[in-house]
């Protein structure tokens, strides 16, 4: 509950910020030479996105970035995590770099720095150039190589003013939702393709990490969405087996190659049910496992599973027949996601134990609620979001107290925005966006967060 618990204060060096992603906020989908991305194609495919919404206009951030940065400065953000649209920089994925696309990020970075806000760049937040998908997308090894070339081009332009680089955002979603069950772009539903995508995404990360470092980058990382998977019944062996399987598909398949030198044997066996593994070539795991400086963690909700004969499993996790995904228990957000701050503490502690030595940052955490402005249009009383954030900041603090090397926290999201297959129906912002007028109204949570940053803590 808001303000009902003891005050907590974070370490002096703790970094506070907010996050967004290119396709979700920029709009200007055809401007200054931007090419089509898989999300442009997908959102135009009937039935894929809520009410046929697209990112064509989104929050019009491309034109309003100055006002948006001013708002960030007013809130006192130390850092702003945004993503770069690959199709602006290299519209056909393989050909010449488009300088006008890079100009936008150049202006944005200058604007941020001019306000004392440190940029954190994500190179890939799901908007693959469509021409690369036409060549097989992430099922094609070449995409990983093109990604590294693109990373190098962005670094050449922005590397003198951007210190922190993250390669990918949530490769779990790109692979399993994009290629496994087709809920996200490019909308393919093929488990074998999903596992090929996992590997090429990781390889793309590794090659981009090498390219960025060779060019002089000091801080390079990746953002993943690991989950502390728990058994429905802590005493059941069947549930423990289900946890191990889902943990493998959600967490270890990404984190072990990144931080422990290679894929776990049980996960490789699981992949072989759906695809050969010849695409995992000798030397790839070494590239993927090169050191990173920061591991970004996106945390929203916990997962509980049970082992049950005949349970259908989840199409978001290929090969999980016999696993029951326990329906989320209230309280829930507007996404239907279970609210459980202690899940964040458990996850951070587990990561600190299982993958020691790499600094962590919460690169996304937040909640959708059906916010409405008051009659005057100037106030949005989003107390549920304040409660959510308050609880999760306390949970993050508990992990720090337990010894986890957590360096910062970025709220998802600065603005209400295009929530992928759910279009504009879900509002995650601490700032309300009226999509008809593009007016921004800081919600009560934005004012509350401003105070959190000022105090360096909650309560």
Catalytic residues, which ones? 170, 364
Smaller CB distance to ligand FCB: residue 287 or 368? 368
Cα distance between residue 386 and residue 392, in whole Å: 10
Question: 341 with 335: CB under 8 angstroms?
Answer: no
Smaller CB distance to ligand FCB: residue 320 or 333? 333
Smaller CB distance to ligand FCB: residue 306 or 433? 433
Provide, rounded to whole angstroms, the least separation between the CB of residue 238 and ligand FCB: 29
Smaller CB distance to ligand FCB: residue 170 or 387? 170
Within 10 A of 157 (CB to CB), how many other CB atoms are there? 19
Cα distance between residue 68 and residue 61, in whole Å: 7
Provide, rounded to whole angstroms, the least separation between the CB of residue 20 and ligand FCB: 8
Provide, rounded to whole angstroms, the least separation between the CB of residue 251 and ligand FCB: 15
Question: 455 with 395: CB under 8 angstroms?
Answer: no
Per-residue buried b or exposed e for 308-335, using 16+ beta carbons within 10 Å of the residue's own CB = beebebbebbbebebbbbeebeeeebbb
Smaller CB distance to ligand FCB: residue 10 or 409? 409
Q: At what angle do helices 383-401 and 444-455 cross, to 10 degrees?
A: 30
Q: Could you tell me the CA-to-CA distances from 111 to 68, 101, 106, 160 in Å, in that order? A: 10, 16, 9, 14
Question: 432 with 416: CB under 8 angstroms?
Answer: yes
- SS3 at position 411: strand
Within 10 A of 175 (CB to CB), how many other CB atoms are there? 26
- For ligand FCB, the binding residues (CB under 6 A) are 21, 24, 169-170, 173, 225, 298, 364, 412, 419-420, 428
């Amino acid at each position: 509950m808001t303000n009902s618990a003891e005050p907590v204060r974070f370490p002096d060096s703790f970094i506070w910020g907010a996050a967004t992603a290119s396709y979700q906020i920029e709009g200007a989908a055809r401007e200054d030479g931007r090419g089509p991305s898989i999300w442009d194609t997908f959102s135009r495919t009937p039935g894929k996105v809520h009410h046929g919404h697209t990112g064509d206009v989104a929050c019009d951030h491309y034109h309003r970035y100055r006002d948006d940065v001013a708002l960030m400065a007013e809130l006192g953000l130390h850092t702003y995590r945004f993503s770069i649209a690959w199709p602006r920089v290299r519209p056909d994925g393989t050909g010449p770099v488009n300088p006008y696309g890079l100009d936008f990020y150049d202006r944005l970075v200058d604007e941020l720095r001019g306000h004392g806000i440190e940029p954190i760049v994500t190179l890939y937040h799901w908007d693959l150039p469509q021409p690369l998908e036409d060549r097989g997308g992430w099922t094609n090894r070449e995409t990983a190589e093109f990604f590294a070339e693109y990373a190098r081009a962005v670094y050449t332009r922005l590397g003198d003013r951007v210190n922190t680089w993250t390669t990918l955002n949530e490769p779990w979603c790109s692979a399993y939702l994009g290629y496994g069950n087709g809920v996200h772009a490019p909308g393919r539903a093929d488990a074998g393709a999903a596992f090929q995508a996992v590997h090429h995404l990781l390889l793309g990360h590794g090659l981009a990490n090498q390219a960025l470092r060779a060019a002089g980058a000091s801080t390079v990382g990746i953002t993943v969405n690991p989950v502390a998977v728990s058994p429905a019944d802590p005493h059941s062996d069947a549930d423990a087996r289900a946890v191990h399987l889902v943990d493998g598909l959600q967490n270890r398949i990404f984190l072990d190659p990144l931080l422990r030198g290679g894929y776990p044997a049980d996960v490789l066996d699981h992949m072989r049910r759906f695809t050969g593994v010849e695409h995992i070539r000798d030397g790839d795991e070494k590239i993927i496992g090169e050191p990173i400086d920061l591991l970004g963690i996106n945390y929203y909700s916990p997962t509980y599973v049970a082992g049950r004969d005949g349970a259908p499993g989840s199409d978001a996790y290929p090969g999980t027949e016999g696993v029951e995904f326990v329906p989320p228990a209230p309280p829930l957000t507007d996404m239907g996601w279970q609210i459980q701050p202690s899940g964040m503490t458990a996850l951070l502690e587990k990561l600190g134990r299982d993958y020691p030595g790499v600094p962590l940052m919460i690169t996304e955490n937040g909640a959708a609620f059906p916010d409405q402005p008051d009659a005057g249009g100037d106030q949005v009383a989003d107390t549920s979001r304040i409660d959510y954030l308050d609880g999760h900041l306390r949970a993050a603090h508990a992990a720090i107290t337990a010894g986890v090397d957590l360096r910062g926290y970025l709220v998802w999201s600065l603005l209400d925005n295009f929530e992928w297959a759910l279009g504009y129906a879900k509002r995650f912002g601490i700032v309300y966006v009226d999509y008809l007028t593009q007016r921004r109204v800081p919600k009560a949570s934005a004012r509350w967060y401003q105070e959190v940053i000022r105090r360096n803590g909650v309560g």
